[in-house]
Structure 1
Amino acid sequence: MSLNDRDALAVLHAVIDPADGNGLIGRFYARWFSFEASPRDLFPPDMAAQRATFAHALNWVYGELVDQRAEEPVAFLAQLGRDHRKYGVLPEHYDTLRQALYTTLRDEVAEAWTDAVGAAAEQSLNLITGVMRGAAEAELSPAWWDGTVVEHLRVSRDLAVVRLQLDQPMPYHPGQYVNVAVPQCPRRWRYLTPAIPSDDTGAVEFHVRAVSGGLVSNAIVNETQSDDRWRLSNPHGGLHVDRDGGDVLMVAGSTGLAPLRSIIMDLTRWGENPRVHLFFGGRYPCELYDLPTLWQVAANNPWLSVTPVSERNGDPAWAADYPDVTPPRGLHLRQTGKLMDVVTRYGGWGDRQILISGGPEMVRVTKAALMAKGAPPERIQHDPLYR
């Protein structure tokens, strides 16, 4: 029965700690690279982020298998296989990957390993590697898209807008995110979200905030120059607005504005849309960097309302060095306070489609605050918090 043996699958699931990328997952990668040296050169020197991402992914897949839900894991694994082409992973690499993961799971389970657990491990790893390899081999789209930086705007001390011209257009849905590699940090991929819909000319725009300790984000904000060559991988994510699904609440923290901005710009193609109320938050008023653009969109699309929110009422001294982002009259008055507090001050929004975008902690607390006010969780969308 193997994949139907929930007890055996639960034993495997129990040893995969999503918060411990240095444990079982670290031992898996070490064993894989000992079996076959060539995959090591495909990944960045510092494997911490890669291990953490894989730990979360593997934990989720086994959780779904325990609950006997295979449809979403199969779709996820297919996307993972297509996406791994960007590293240069070849079909034959999946054989040693499967062998290394099986051996690592067996060692971790130790005395709890039985014939039933072994069969579940064999069948589940056949599924994982088989779907990934099959999807990678069947995919006809490019493994990556290359592009040239044409503009780098420093809009705040730790915020930058980067515009690229891709060598060929990249198809993606508004709200999706992509993996990006920059020349300053070879083989270190970082998820970024295009801030404009897919463009037939190959134009794409990203909004990036430097994260404390973030090697790639700091390099993008502080070191990016025109003519730098970037590489983008396949799009991910399902953040979207159903135009027949009722009115919409959007909550954006800092550069979390990017996917919601892309969706809003895509909606302008239609004359009629559900009402969209966007709350756009930052620490200081000066960090509400895109208010002039949002004002222009709202001025021509009466279905869009924008409420700016800043945690502090005034700007710091360093803000004098950056562009004034105060929009013309026409937006709602700027509110002061925590973004989640301002949003929930207006009610529970339980009758809306709700899209939240920003840092993981901002998304967690905003979602919890809205649910506490009565918003149904199934109406709330956000990207995976571990990406």
Structure 2
Amino acid sequence: MTYNIALNFEDGVTRVINCNDGETVLDAAYRAQLNLPMDCSDGVCGTCKGTCRQGKYDLGEEYIDEALTDEEAEKGLILTCQMVPSSDCVVEIPAVSSMCSKAANSTVTGTVDVVNLISPTAIELKITADNDIGFLPGQYVNIQVPGSDETRAYSFSSLPGSRQLSFLIRNVPGGLMSSWLVGKAKSNDTVSLTGPMGVFYLRPVERPVLMLAGGTGLAPFLSMLEHLKEKGCDQPVHLIYGVTNDDDLVCVSALEAFAASIPNFSFKTVIANEESDHPRKGYVTNHMEDAPFNDGDVDVYLCGPPPMVNAVLGHFESQGIKPNSFHYEKFTASVTPASEEAA
């Protein structure tokens, strides 16, 4: 038995694929030469998340909560790598159809320019790629940890279109990548990058934008702001950047420079530790008085660790906040013993 699965993409394109009995939507799409957004294909990363608007299906129990929460599943969100249809279905894919062509992600090499320990908890990595990586502002890439077969996912913090790449990486004590960066990496070391990946990227700015960043989840927003600085923006853009402790607050001078060069861009920083002397303490949800909600005509982008993302989602629901679009990305732990969160 086969089922017709209508895949509705963000740009209005619909592709109908045939899914065999017992087959996942991701595998069926691959047979149809469609590379839907994915990274792990094991229900761990959450990259393949979409929404089923019609039809019956089973998700099994192989995925982790960080990839898809029970609350999300109850609302019809699915992981295409886990979704096994039992009827015809309509599935929304949060990406444009051109991103899902049969062309696979490319792997390029690059050389390390500099590794900066910019705080006790954050590392800035700068790389010059040997070839172009055509990423969108907000996307990420998998970087192979030199000397191992492991990779770690990191969002670009640099301007798309340049071979000069930068990344803001959480310094995890004992972490595989962190240990290499802090203890072994040096200029001109060779690294391998595969991508770009992810559906968390800046869409055309046609209305006010609210950006919510947690920790090194600031990285994709730095790339988005570089893009807005180059291309221009006539809509209000407001960023709320929350961290746990004073030492976690980084790149504030870069944000100040963006505020001086991008019309209508503003930002504020928030520290959760109540013992901090910072003027704004608590969580990002406690400091949304300047958020350009615009009666719901706003695009919201949220990137941070799972507890922060879940808290913001819960806050929006409890307050009845329904933005025009809501794009979010959680840091999800690696499945290897030497695990690190993506950044």
Task: Tell me, yes or no, if the aligned pair for 1:143 and 1:234 is still in contact at 8 Å.
Answer: yes
Percent identity between the two aligned chains: 24
* 1:204 paired residue number: 165
Q: In 2 relative to 1, CA 311–244 (structure 1 residues): closer, same or farther, beyond 3 Å?
A: closer
**Are 1:249 and 1:352, in contact at CA under 8 Å, matched by a contact in 2?**
yes
- AA of the residue aligned to 2:186: Q
| Residues 1:244 and 1:355: Cα distance change in structure 2 (over 3 Å) | closer
Aligned counterpart for 2:230 among listed residues 255, 264, 269: 269
Match of 1:188 in 2: 150
Partner Cα separation in structure 2 for residue 348 and residue 247 of structure 1: 6
Q: How far does the alpha carbon of each residue in 1:4-47 deviate from its partner, in whole angstroms, 9 at most, with x for none?
A: 59996599835452139xxxxxxxxxxxxxxxxxxxxxxxxxxx
2: distance between equivalents of 1:307 and 1:11? 44
**Deviation of residue 256 (structure 1)?**
0.5
Q: Output aligned runs, 1:205-284, within 5 Å.
A: 205-211=166-172, 214-284=175-245
2:152 and 2:177 in contact (8 A); partners too:
yes
Q: How far has the Cα of 1:314 moved from its partner?
A: 5.8
SS at match of 2:131: coil
**Separation in 2, partners of 1:73, 1:240:** 10
Contact 1:145-1:166 within 8 A present in 2 as well: yes
Shift, 1:227, TM fit: 2.3
1:2 aligns with 2:2: yes
Please tell me whether residue 168 in structure 1 is matched to residue 138 in structure 2.
no
CA distance in 2, matches of 1:204, 1:298: 22
Residue pair 1:307, 1:334 contacting (<8 A) in 2 also: no
Change (3 A) 1:315 1:167: farther
Q: Could you tell me whether the CA contact under 8 Å between 1:173 and 1:197 is conserved in 2?
A: no
Q: Kindly provide the amino acid, as one letter, of the partner of residue 214 in structure 2.
A: G
144-153 or 266-275, which deviates more: 266-275
CA contact 1:351–1:375 (8 Å) conserved in 2 = no
Q: Which one has a bigger Cα radius of gyration?
A: 1
Match of 2:254 in 1: 293
Structure 2 SS opposite 1:383: strand
> Would the aligned equivalents of 1:348 and 1:370 in 2 still touch at CA under 8 Å?
no
Partner SS for 2:58? helix
Report the AA paired with residue 335 of structure 1. Answer: R
Provide the secondary structure at the position in 2 that maps to 1:299. helix
C-alpha distance in structure 2 between counterparts of 1:361 and 1:143, whole Å:
32
* TM-score for both structures, normalised by structure 2: 0.68
Distance 2:291 2:128 in 1: 42
Structure 2: runs of 5 or more not aligned: 6-18, 23-54, 66-77, 333-341
Q: Quick one: which amino acid aligns to residue 252 of structure 1?
A: A
Q: CA deviation at 1:3?
A: 2.2
User: What one-letter code is carried by the residue in structure 2 that aligns with 1:366?
Assistant: V
> Deviation digits for residues 160-217 of structure 1, max 9, x if unmatched?
0000111122111111111111204x221111001012243x1100000034664334
User: CA 1:72–1:278 in structure 2 vs 1: closer, same or farther (change >3 Å)?
Assistant: closer
Give the secondary structure class of the aligned counterpart of 2:270. Answer: strand
Quick one: distance in 2 between partners of 1:166 and 1:245? 32
Aligned to 1:13: 58
What secondary structure, in the 3-state scheme, does the structure 2 residue paired with 1:309 have? strand
Amino acid at match of 2:121: D
Bigger relative CO (Cα 8 Å, ≥ 6 apart): 2
SS of residue paired to 1:144: strand
**CA RMSD of superposed structures (Å):** 3.6
CA distance in 1, matches of 2:263, 2:157: 21
Aligned with residue 62 of structure 1, among 84, 87, 92: 84
Cα pair 2:309 2:330 within 8 Å, conserved: no
Contact map agreement 2:123 2:169 (CA 8 A) in 1: yes
Deviations 1:86-115 (A, max 9, x none): xxxxxxxxxxxxxxxxxxxxxxxxxxxxxx
Q: Residues 66, 376 of structure 1: CA spacing in aligned structure 2 closer, same or farther, 3 A cutoff? A: farther
Identify which range, 292-301 or 211-220, moves more after superposition: 211-220
Count of residue pairs brought into register by the alignment: 273
Q: Under a length normalisation based on structure 1, what TM-score does the superposition of the two structures give? A: 0.61
Which runs of 5 or more residues in structure 1 are unaligned? 21-54, 83-134, 317-332
| Residue equivalent to 1:32 | none
1:148 aligns with 2:111: yes
Partner residue of 1:177 out of 140, 148, 170: 140
Aligned to 2:329: 383
Alpha-carbon distance, 1:385 to partner: 5.9
Which range moved further: 207-216 or 266-275?
207-216
The separation in 2 between residues aligned to 1:256 and 1:244, in whole angstroms, is 20
Task: Indicate yes or no: 2:283 matched with 1:335.
Answer: no
> Contact conserved, 1:308 with 1:334, CA < 8 A, in 2?
no
Counterparts in 2 of 1:378 and 1:338: CA distance versus 1, 3 Å? same
The letter for the 2-side match of 1:192 is Y
Distance 1:244 1:210, change over 3 A: closer
Look up the equivalent residue of 1:69 and give its one-letter code: V
Please show how residues 129-148 of structure 1 align to structure 2 within 5 Å.
135=102, 139=103, 143-148=106-111
